[in-house]
Amino acid sequence: MEELKKEEFLTIDRNSDLYPRIMNMFKPYGIVPNITMHLQQMSSCYYMAANDFGCAFLRHATLLTVKDTGNLWFYFIDSPLASRDVRIYYKRGGYISNAMSAFIKWVQNANV
């Protein structure tokens, strides 16, 4: 984390659940990240970082949805704040479409 102290960051907008987790990941190190731009989409953060606008915090799932530019290095931050639980709710005994069933199975098996 100390190496990241001098970097400029792009991040998802402040209303995202990810934003406070990013800020809190730095707190134990006494670092406030230098965030230069807040964007609406993770893919925007990815492509802006790939074009030298700064470093970006990305969800792992984002890498499954963007074209690899070959321009980035990836570092995984070892913090409990770097992951989150996912919950899916649906009405007990209610109709579950094939698409919904496939989505639930995908979420259960995905490492995102």
Spatial distance between the Cα atoms of 33 and 23, rounded to a whole number of angstroms: 7
Q: Which two tokens stand for residue 102?
A: 């496939």
Q: Which two tokens stand for residue 36?
A: 């230069």
Residue 28 in 3-state DSSP?
helix
Spatial distance between the Cα atoms of 35 and 9, rounded to a whole number of angstroms: 5
Residues linked to residue 8 through DSSP beta bridges, in sequence order: 34
Model confidence at 112, pLDDT cuts 50, 70, 90, reads low
**Percentage of residues of the chain with pLDDT beyond 70:** 97
Interval 47-59 mean pLDDT: 91
Q: Which two tokens stand for residue 32?
A: 């406030």
Residues linked to residue 35 through DSSP beta bridges, in sequence order: 9
Full-model pTM: 0.70
Mean per-residue pLDDT over the chain, rounded: 87
Structural domains in the chain, sorted by start = 2-82 (3.40.190)
